[in-house]
Amino acid sequence: MSALRRDAGIALAIARKDALSELRGRHATVSTLFFAAVVLLLFGFALGPDAERLADAAPGLLWLAVMFAGILAVNRLHLLETDDDALEQLALYPVSRRAIYAGKALGGLAVMLVLGIVVLGAVGILFAVDVAGAVVPLLVTIVLGAIGIAAVGTFYAGVTVRLRAREVMLPLLMLPVLAPLLLAAVKATAAAFAGDPFGELGAWLQLLVAFDVVMVVAGAATYGFLLEDG
């Protein structure tokens, strides 16, 4: 069995384990969906009934909800490893560190994809934007954005998982790094909602792809050091 195939099997096993835990505990899904719903509703009320205003704010609010909920999700998925010191046991298995990183990131990605699609539907209803008319570019944007958030979030959740102040530190560390992703994702989403009148959608999606590649490679290369306990 090639090393790559074995790594893929390990990553899928970790993601499956996280998914099973999440399906039974629903810790990440419930908290993230609740948080996203509160963000969308509060901003919807604050912006008022002006349809044009709501539509202008929709891309930013969509990604605000996805990003903060994504931070909650990756944090929660790493907290699964702190129960009964499972992270130490995970680090002791004779498997590659990049496979462990990929597995944890896949788990976060799955939660965020579900979340992104639900939030996209909610934005379409609450903010008077045409989701159905641009569903493919919107889904591509959400997939690319979710990959980036999962890649960055998994790495920083690994950094903070042993800290007492992890809930505070995780967004503080993640948000500056996610700035280019958020810019590209919001711009791509706005272009998709508007029917891409200036032909800029492709460029923003390319930036998202580049961000994802850099962060996935960097995360996979360095995550192993985070598993070392001194």
Partner 1 sequence: MPQTTIYVSPRSHGAPNERPPAVVTTDLARLFAGSAALAGVSLRVEAGRCVALLGPNGAGKTTLLRLLATVIRPSYGAAQVDGLDVARDADLVRERVAYLSHSTGLYDDLTARENLDFAATMLGTPDRAGRVERALADIGLGDRAGDRVRDFSAGMRRRLGLGRLLLGQASLVLLDEPTSALDEGGLGLVEQLLAAWRDVGVTVLVASHSADRIDRFIDARVVLDRGLVASVSGAGVTTVAPGAEPSHRPAVATR
Give the nearer residue to partner 1 in terms of CB position, either 139 or 227.
227
**Sole window of 68-76, 83-91, 178-186, 192-200 interacting with partner 1 (rule: CB under 8 A):** 83-91
How many residues form the binding site for partner 1 (CB under 8 A)? 25
- One residue of 3, 85, 136, 165 binding partner 1 per CB under 8 A: 85
Question: Which residue in the set 83, 132, 165, 199 belongs to the binding site for partner 1 (CB under 8 A)?
Answer: 83
In the set 28, 77, 95, 205, which binds partner 1 (CB under 8 A)?
95
Among 227, 224, 226, smallest CA distance to 89 is for 227
Place of tokens 């002006």: 50
Residue 203's Cβ-count burial label (10 Å; 0-12, 13-18, 19+) is middle
Q: Segment contacting partner 1 (CB under 8 A): 5-13, 61-69, 137-145, 170-178? A: 5-13
| Interface segment toward partner 1; rule CB under 8 A; list 4-12, 46-54, 128-136, 151-159 | 4-12
Q: Is 225 in the site for partner 1 (CB under 8 A)?
A: no
79 binds partner 1 (CB under 8 A): no
Among 7, 10, 33, 104, binds partner 1 (CB under 8 A): 10
Residues 10, 169: Cα–Cα separation, whole Å: 29
Per CB under 8 A, residues contacting partner 1 are 6, 9-10, 13, 17, 20-21, 24-25, 80, 83-86, 88-95, 228-230
